[in-house]
Structure 1
Amino acid sequence: MEMVFRWFGEENDHIPLAHIQQIPGVKGVVWSLHNKVAGEKWSTDDIKELQQQVDPYNLHIEVVESVNIHEDIKLGLPTRDKYIENYIETIQELSKVGVKVICYNFMPVFDWIRTDLFKELPDGSTALFYEKQLIEGNDPSELVERVMKDENFTLPGWEPERMEQLSEILEAYKKVDEEMLWDNLKYFLEAVIPVAEKYNIKLAIHPDDPPWPVFGLPRIVINAENLGRVLELVDSPSNGLTFCSGSLGANPANDLPAIIRRYADKIHFAHVRNLKRFDNGDFIETSHKMSDGSVDMFGIMKAFHEVGYTGYIRPDHGRHIWDEVCRPGYGLYDRALGIMYLWGIWDSLEQTK
């Protein structure tokens, strides 16, 4: 496996590249152009500017997360073609700097849902929390106000320009059911996958987070069966998956090691993290340590080891610890601890071959 670390850029992240470079085994940063709105073409100059920031630290930029998909594409509106063309041109631009994987998602409106960004855990640390009763039957605009009120960073998937149009977008989705969303995903993939294949780039869809409908919005990338359906939409080595133990693991019915073994050759990118599920449908993110949560962390890494996984992997969301002031879920300290936990499992498996 190749360990990478998500970084939000010099203007939108508190973590210096020099610190990321010091985490054992990290080979690259997972990045995006966070000043770009969904649907906007990425320019050569902007991409190369980021490359120039990263190069001095001997870290690669082979994984992008994410090139966001415009809502008109997900909605299947006539305007989608111009945004798809921008996506295609962005793929072409990214190939010029050696990008190998583009992680994306097809979640309507919200890239992820949490109800509290800093819920306190018993040890005094805080973490991202999902409280079911605050979602079901409630106004999503109230959630946005609650979650965003004290946020100084731009949250991925919760960009201000997107939230400003929330009511209009939600109204438009009332006409879109699951099958229509599947059709719109297929339309998108049929257009972009041949281009990605031409430039030797893998597109890797991220599972929906959480993996069930929220606020009446359809969600389709939620389980093993549906992951297979994504792959069947366009048969190509460039049509692949991002495995996310946190997103899929929120539903106890998802057998995460089995998903890895089933789709091993199609998993181009992996997010590995832990969370603790509660019987009432709530969940909270925890340390990566297996006993702290509900996710079979050892089983996941064992499955990756058994299939000979050589793709990219990163620790996902971490707790906020040691008084670190950081982007919710994306502090340095707990994610670095998570990396060492994952390496510890991996090295142990290597020794028992």
Structure 2
Amino acid sequence: MIETWRWYGPDLDTISLSEVAQTGATGIVNALHEIPYGEVWTREAIAARRRIIEDTGFRWEVVESLPIHERIKRGDGDLSALFAAYRQSMVNLAAEGVQVICYNFMPVLDWTRTDLAAPVARGGTCLRFEAYRMAAFEIHMLGREGARDDYDPEVQTRATEWFSASTEAEREALLYAIMAGLPGAFDRYDINGLRTQLALYDGIGREGIRANYRRFLEEVIPTAEEVGLRLCVHPDDPPRDILGLPRVVSTAEDIDWILNAVDSPANGLTLCTGSLGANPANDLPAIAARFAERIHFAHLRNVRKDADGSFEEAAHLDGDTDMVAVLRVLLAEETRRKAQGRSDWSIPFRPDHGHELGPDIGRGAFPGYPLVGRLRGLAELRGVIRALS
């Protein structure tokens, strides 16, 4: 398996490529976060970023992400220019040697947490999703109609208690945490701005989102086939409806629908064991085995779940997901691909969402993306892979 590291670029990341080199990873996962959604990634901009990566001894293995404009997700108006821009960016990436594009189809928000620095038992911090605090945000801060229907009575009671006792600073911190999953420098919302964005999805529903997703795949997968790219969708995080918005990449059934909507090797999956693992109904080794042929990229992390729907990032080998079993499946798939004579038989993976440990704390890394915490995860995963191999 190809060891990769997510790096946010020279202007955004507090971790340098020279530090990443010391982790032993050989590939970089990167995106041009400075370019607004819907605009073309020019070949010149891609080449400039590729040179920075390669000059430090790495290969740019995966783009994460080439964002999909919200209008495409909503099916809003004439989308021909947005689809054309997306396809041109794909062509330009392929021309510069990038072959894998990770993307997501989550409406409005990317990954969602309520706490960016929850304490870990023996020191350090982790990302956490607390059900009652999310309920407090939706019911009391956002005032979303129908929000109470999404939460159990006990969670609603705790939400009301928290909101009644919270300070303005604590509410602002909660809003900041919920917005923190958005990559790049665009589309951070205040309460009114978020209400406005949510209103744009009124009446669309799950089947509407699926229809818009199918159209996206129909528009871009033929180009991916032509230029030798593999697209791989990232699962919803968390794998449940959020803010009343349908999430359509949360279960094995969802993944099956996506891969069959446009049945092509270029239409694949990013296996994120943390995102899918936050749903108690998801069996990660079984999902990995079922869709192994279409897994083009893997995010390997673990979560520890609570009965009320809360969860937090666990150490990579310590959560609810059997990471050894997942890695066994991925290694078997690599063996199968290699026997077929494929040049792209090795699956890139990255350690995802590490704990902030020791010198990570206070450094200002992107939430979930510290140096030491991810290095610990990479070392643990590397050891399992070596043992299984």
* Correspondence for 1:334: 373
Q: CA deviation at 1:81?
A: 2.3
* Correspondence for 2:352: 316
* Structure 1: unaligned runs, 5 residues or longer: none
* Correspondence for 2:257: 229
Q: CA deviation at 1:149?
A: 4.5
**AA aligned opposite 1:187:** R
Aligned match of 1:295 in 299, 321, 324?
321
Aligned pair in 2 of structure 1 residues 93, 171: CA closer, same or farther (>3 Å)? same
TM-score scaled by length of structure 2: 0.84
Partners of 2:58 and 2:97 in 1: CA distance: 12
**AA aligned opposite 2:133:** L
* Correspondence for 2:198: 170
Partners of 1:258 and 1:41 in 2: CA distance: 38
Mean alpha-carbon deviation: is it higher for 36-45 or for 221-230?
Answer: 36-45
**AA aligned opposite 2:354:** G
Q: CA deviation at 1:147?
A: 4.3
* Structure 2: unaligned runs, 5 residues or longer: 144-167, 336-345
Partners of 1:207 and 1:111 in 2: CA distance: 10
CA displacement 1:258-300 (0-9 Å, x = unmatched) = 111111110000000011111221111122132xx22211111
* Correspondence for 2:162: none
Aligned match of 1:220 in 223, 243, 248?
248
Would you say 1:19 and 2:46 are equivalent positions? no
Would you say 1:348 and 2:374 are equivalent positions? no
Q: CA deviation at 1:163?
A: 2.4
**AA aligned opposite 1:339:** L
CA contact (8 A) 1:73 1:184 kept: yes
Partners of 1:10 and 1:158 in 2: CA distance: 12
* Correspondence for 1:242: 270
Q: CA deviation at 1:155?
A: 4.9
CA contact (8 A) 2:180 2:367 kept: no
- SS of 1:14 mapped into structure 2: coil
CA displacement 1:222-279 (0-9 Å, x = unmatched) = 1111101000111111100100000000012101001111111100000000111112
CA contact (8 A) 2:28 2:58 kept: yes
Aligned match of 1:146 in 139, 155, 173?
173
Partners of 2:242 and 2:177 in 1: CA distance: 23
CA contact (8 A) 1:39 1:69 kept: yes
* Correspondence for 1:110: 109
* Correspondence for 2:49: 50
Partners of 1:338 and 1:244 in 2: CA distance: 14
* Correspondence for 1:282: 310
Aligned match of 1:306 in 326, 332, 340?
332
Partners of 1:234 and 1:81 in 2: CA distance: 19
Partners of 1:42 and 1:23 in 2: CA distance: 29
CA contact (8 A) 2:277 2:284 kept: yes
Aligned pair in 2 of structure 1 residues 154, 279: CA closer, same or farther (>3 Å)? closer
Q: CA deviation at 1:85?
A: 1.1
* Correspondence for 2:28: 29
- SS of 1:323 mapped into structure 2: helix
- SS of 1:308 mapped into structure 2: helix
Partners of 1:117 and 1:81 in 2: CA distance: 38
CA displacement 1:25-77 (0-9 Å, x = unmatched) = x2210000111122121122221221121111221113100011110000001
Number of matched pairs: 346
CA contact (8 A) 1:274 1:286 kept: yes
Aligned pair in 2 of structure 1 residues 335, 281: CA closer, same or farther (>3 Å)? same
* Correspondence for 1:63: 62
CA contact (8 A) 1:135 1:215 kept: no
CA contact (8 A) 1:154 1:160 kept: no
CA contact (8 A) 1:115 1:129 kept: yes
Q: CA deviation at 1:160?
A: 4.1
CA displacement 1:306-334 (0-9 Å, x = unmatched) = 32362111111101110311221001111
**AA aligned opposite 1:146:** A
